[in-house]
Amino acid sequence: MTPERVVVHTVLKVGGGLLGKARAFDHVIEALTAFRPGRRLVVIPGGGPFADAVRQMFRRVKIGADAAHWMAVLGMDQYAHALAARAPGAALVEQREDIAAALAAGQLPVLAPYRWLKTADPLPHSWDVTSDSIAAWFAGALGARRIVLIKPASGRGDARKLVDPAFVRTLPPAVEHLIVTADDLGQLDVALNEGGEGSSRRVSKRP
């Protein structure tokens, strides 16, 4: 996809940790329903409890980094199914052409990333790489101009502590990056604005 023809303006990563915060998932679905019309966005799921289960297996069963990486990505696929089932007008997608077709039909594409990532295999197989960095990679692959990460709670101090260690290295320099928390979902409308800068917290690039 070329920069001259941007189909996706914003990658919206919905954190899996929201599933562990009372009613946070429901509130995110409500905010998405209210704020998505007219916006060119694709939703990418976090890992949440699905990835946590893989972490436990990694420690207890010694499955190895490669198996753990792909199992965690499959956990993102499970969350994608949940998001697509709950968000009105959502379509579960797996490839670039599916995203374009969903947007053209006025639907909200929710990406199940395993198939695309398994083919491209662009990232290290490490726990330093979580769904944050995977979403950042997709922002670059899709030619998006912004990535918005919805997190379950605000970070105290350095915003970089809210993302994984590989995030700032993975995100293309030209892509704007913002964080919205489950406690301040009114900011999502501003963060998804395609006409100007968002006002949510930015994650600074490392020197």
Q: What is the pLDDT of residues 91-100, one digit of tens each?
A: 999 999 999 9
- The backbone region for 103, taken as left when phi is positive above 0, alpha when psi lies in -120 to 50, beta otherwise, is alpha
Mean pLDDT of 93-112: 96
* DSSP strands (E only) in 47-130: 90-93, 108-111
φ, ψ dihedrals at 84, nearest 5°: -65, -30
Mean pLDDT of 85-93: 96
User: Minimal CA–CA distance to 144: which of 119, 169, 172?
Assistant: 172
Residue 59 CA to residue 36 CA, distance in Å, equals 39
Burial 116-152 (b: 16+ CB within 10 A, else e): bbeeeeebebebebbbbbbbbbbbbbbbbbbbbbbbb
Sheet holding 90-93, edge to edge: 90-93, 108-111, 41-45, 10-14, 146-151, 176-181, 201-202
pLDDT at 199: 42
Separation in Å, CA 103 to CA 27, 35, 90, 194, 203 = 23, 15, 10, 15, 28
Give pLDDT tens digits for 113-144. 999 999 999 999 999 999 999 999 999 999 99
pLDDT at 6: 54
pLDDT at 7: 86
Looking at this protein, which amino acid is placed at residue 163?
A: V
Q: Based on C-alpha coordinates, what's the Rg of the chain? A: 16
What domains can be seen in the chain, in order of their start residue?
10-202 (3.40.1160.10)
Banded pLDDT at 155 (limits 50, 70, 90): low
- Mean pLDDT score across all residues of the chain: 88
Banded pLDDT at 195 (limits 50, 70, 90): confident
CB 138 within 8 A of CB 113: yes
pLDDT at 62: 86
Question: Which has more pLDDT, 196 or 47?
Answer: 47
